[in-house]
Amino acid sequence: MESSNGTVLLVGQNLFFLGKIEAVAEPMGFTVQRATTEPIFIDQYAKNSPALILVDLEGDESVWSQVLGDLAQSAERANGSEVAATVVAFGPHENVEMLERAKNLGCDLVLNKGEFNRDLPKIIEKLRADLV
């Protein structure tokens, strides 16, 4: 699956970061979608071929861990090639185990919330440059 469109897919139940993500991504030409459950994620992923998947680790752990597992299985089915989308997870800095689990589940980048807030514009700008 090629990721050539400008869709950012947020996996999470909390609306707090949605507005921040939209404020950065939409002026750069990206559409932001949100998935609150694994079935919604699968549907959004299939329909939109997102270029970037953001995973809020403060959401339902059973959802985000299953989504990350699904992405890893997709990569395996594609003969080990990488998932087309960049996967960035973010969560509380004090929960080192959670951040490490996300990293072990195959995220390209795992950030604490402060780093995410600081680096989101750079992540979106790099994404835009990569898609041009």
CATH of residue 126: 3.40.50.2300
- Digits of tens for pLDDT over the chain (132 positions)? 333 468 999 999 988 899 999 999 999 999 999 999 999 999 999 999 999 999 999 999 999 999 999 888 886 666 555 557 899 999 999 999 999 999 999 999 999 999 999 999 999 999 999 887
84 within domain boundaries:
yes
Cα angle 81, 77, 50 (rounded to 5 degrees) comes to 65
111 within domain boundaries:
yes
Residue among 80, 27, 90, 87 nearest 58 (CA) = 90
Q: Which residues, other chains included, contact 72 with Cβ-Cβ below 8 Å and sequence gap of 6+?
A: 105, 106
Alpha-carbon span 47 to 31, nearest angstrom: 13
Q: Assess contact for 50 and 1: CB atoms under 8 A.
A: no
Q: How many domains does the chain have?
A: 1
- Strands 52-56 and 7-11: what pairing? parallel
pLDDT one-digit tens code per residue, 11-31: 999 888 999 999 999 999 999
Q: What is the DSSP string of 42-57?
A: HHHHHHH--SEEEEET
